[in-house]
Structure 1
Amino acid sequence: MEPRNRSVTQFMAVTSSMVIPATTENDTNCVNIMKERNNTLELFLFIFLIPVLVFGVIFNSLAIWVFCFKMKKWTETRVYMMNLLLSDCCLLFTLPFRIYLTRHSINLGQKFCTALLSFYFMNTYIGIATVTLISVDRYVAIKFPLRARSFRSAKKAAIACAIVWLLFIATRIYLDILAAPPVRNSSLCFRKANNKPLKRTLYFAILGFCVPMLILVYCTTQIILTLKRKEKINAQEEKDIQKTINIVTTNMAIFLFCFMPLAFGNIVRFIVESMEMKCSVVKTVSDFALFAQGLSDLNCCLDSVCYYFVAKEFWEKVSLFPKSKKHLMQDQTQESSI
């Protein structure tokens, strides 16, 4: 019996030694597949992100000039626009590195890569939160016009923005320092180079996008319904109300266009990674998420549409010529409708 037991033990040892390397080999092969560059996608991102960087710098430089040097009074609009502008500057800081990494491989270092990702996601999720706050502020002003004065103020808007920043910074500190952050390939800083699911990706997609999206869609819908039910005194007021409806609809469309594909891609990637699907499938979904990530960067340019629609005084300050009394009276009427 003893020789038989010894032979069984030897067989199990040999079998286990054969299985472990096979698993390791499969993991290694999958990591290698995930690291492979999609030349078509990265060429697209290279061509796409350069004009985003150029126009983003131009538009945001103009915004800095107007909001910081031309405006004197702090309003809710100015506070939210400054917050949105600050989040856009975080993205613009990371774009040169993203553009360079689409064509080259360079070791940025683990700490610097983590810092870049923190700045990058500041734009994504603080931008989403700010647009949501603007939508809620507009909803309160239109749905409850009499009580809006007690609800809305520049100070309260600043407090709301400060809370958003503190929550995000605290979350990043916890994830990047206290919660054993995942080891990243510093030469692939903005790409996920493995097929292991990250719960933080799912949490950010749901809490960082899906919940704000529901709030924004609800506020926008209620604004449109409220304005459509409002009695129109004259043709000018009807025109102003329709313009306001177009404003809130456009802002919601920009929000969904920029951020919905990214959230969808991250959720699907988490699902296929959790189900341990073939590495080729995970790679395809990961490439789509990378494409959606590039598409979301367009928000730093499209935010200028928000500047135009929401901050009417913004373009009054840009204008080099004084407006006629007729135009000033029309602007006051439109402002009251918004």
Structure 2
Amino acid sequence: MDRRNIQVGDYMAVTSKLPNLVSSTTAIYNNTNCSEIMKTGNPKVEIFLITLLTCVFIFGTIFNSLAVWVFCFKMKKWTETRVFMMSLLFSDCCLLFTLPFRIYTTQHPWPLGDSWCNALLSVYFMNTYMGIAVITLISMDRYVAIKFPIKARTLRSPKKAALACGIIWLVYISIRLYLALGAKWRNGESCFRKDTVMPLKRALYFTVFGSCLPMVILIFCSTQIILTLKKKEKTSMNEEKDIKKSISIVKTNLAIFLFCFLPFSTGNIVRFVIESIGSDCSLIKLINDIYYAAQGLSDLNCCLDSICYYFVAKEFWEKASLFPRFKKQLIKDQTQESSI
């Protein structure tokens, strides 16, 4: 009788654990199945990325090569503009270096191992957020120059601009080294692609503090610059024309920034939320594909930064004039840097 009671008790204990065992087994199966789904590519997104990134790499290389030639070999005087542009240029060149690898991995397995993948991911993401930070610094520098023209004489200097850029570079390099040494970033045979449905908190932190916060600062500074310039008294037709050009420059740079980085930031946040609440795998896959397309748009900034070179650094195109007979007309048409 006692033995029978023991057997019945064992049976009840086992059967009581069966639902948990089945549910955990099902969860493991679903996660495995979802991981396999995540590894499958989207042909439309792949074609879009290959086309876009190839164009970005070709034109970005051309534009940035010209910028390197002018800023490094033709310009002699160090100004705040030159310091910021040199930092932005270096960031763009580093990001361009990773694009051939990104293009290859769009349709092929990663062949170079974990170390190369982690190194390239560090370079890519560090320079993406570094570019955002430098553009924000340029906007803040303009804001100080326009809003506080008297204090700007003491607040602005090439050394202070170099110090600001140096601090940001040091912070981002330190963070990336910490992440590279303390975590494994890739899964399976992929690189530049997230194959799991686990939400990454570090991606959310970088998006909030590395993209969204600078975006708020940039919008504030740009808005204040535009309002200040509109209120400024015009003493002549030429000054009024210069102010209108300056407002157009600020609007253009803001529009470029939002076009490149707003979809990227939004996609990253939405992906984190969808993964955190445990949504259906097909929805996560769809959000991932949209995010990768938005990430490609953010890389387009490598080419569009040349507009910033053109408008912000008047002396850039003065020095870039290769043909003396066009130089007088070229200088005549440039926007006065002092007005922005």
CA contact (8 A) 2:260 2:299 kept: yes
Give the counterpart letter for 1:172 in structure 2: R
Deviates more, 1:100-109 or 1:163-172: 100-109
Give the counterpart letter for 1:26 in structure 2: N
Match for residue 36 of structure 1?
40
Deviates more, 1:185-194 or 1:242-251: 185-194
Distance 1:22 1:237, change over 3 A: same
Separation of aligned partners in 2, 1:94 and 1:335: 33
CA contact (8 A) 1:126 1:164 kept: yes
May I ask how many residue pairs the two structures share in their alignment?
334
Match for residue 174 of structure 1?
178
Deviation at 1:149, TM superposition (A): 1.3
Q: 1:6 aligns with which of 10, 17, 30?
A: 10
Deviation at 1:107, TM superposition (A): 3.0
CA contact (8 A) 2:312 2:337 kept: no
Deviation at 1:330, TM superposition (A): 8.0
Residues 1:145 and 2:149 are matched in the alignment: yes
Write the mapping of 1:71-82 to structure 2, written as runs, cut at 5 A: 71-82=75-86
Separation of aligned partners in 1, 2:287 and 2:112: 25
Deviation at 1:297, TM superposition (A): 0.6
Separation of aligned partners in 1, 2:39 and 2:102: 16
Write the mapping of 1:1-338 to structure 2, written as runs, cut at 5 A: 1-12=5-16, 14-178=18-182, 181-185=183-187, 187-319=189-321, 320-321=323-324, 323-324=327-328, 334-338=336-340
CA contact (8 A) 2:222 2:254 kept: yes
CA contact (8 A) 1:46 1:103 kept: no
Deviation at 1:21, TM superposition (A): 2.3
What CA deviation, in whole Å up to 9, does each residue of 1:189-216 have, x standing for no partner?
Answer: 1111011111111111110111101111
CA contact (8 A) 1:91 1:119 kept: yes
Separation of aligned partners in 1, 2:274 and 2:184: 19
Distance 1:328 1:176, change over 3 A: closer
What CA deviation, in whole Å up to 9, does each residue of 1:34-54 have, x standing for no partner?
Answer: 111111110111111111100
Using the aligned pairs only, state the percent identity.
59
CA contact (8 A) 1:49 1:99 kept: yes
What CA deviation, in whole Å up to 9, does each residue of 1:40-75 have, x standing for no partner?
Answer: 110111111111100011000000000000011111
CA contact (8 A) 1:241 1:337 kept: yes
CA contact (8 A) 1:110 1:186 kept: no
Separation of aligned partners in 1, 2:120 and 2:97: 8
Deviation at 1:329, TM superposition (A): 8.0
Secondary structure of the equivalent of 1:206?
Answer: helix
Give the counterpart letter for 2:287 in structure 1: V
CA contact (8 A) 2:110 2:191 kept: no
Deviation at 1:309, TM superposition (A): 0.5
Deviation at 1:327, TM superposition (A): 7.9
Distance 1:335 1:262, change over 3 A: closer
Deviation at 1:17, TM superposition (A): 4.1
Secondary structure of the equivalent of 1:187?
Answer: coil
Segments of structure 1 that go 5 or more residues without pairing to the other structure are none
What CA deviation, in whole Å up to 9, does each residue of 1:99-136 have, x standing for no partner?
Answer: 11112223331111111111111221000000000000
Separation of aligned partners in 2, 1:53 and 1:327: 28
Deviation at 1:328, TM superposition (A): 6.2
* TM-score normalised per structure 1: 0.94
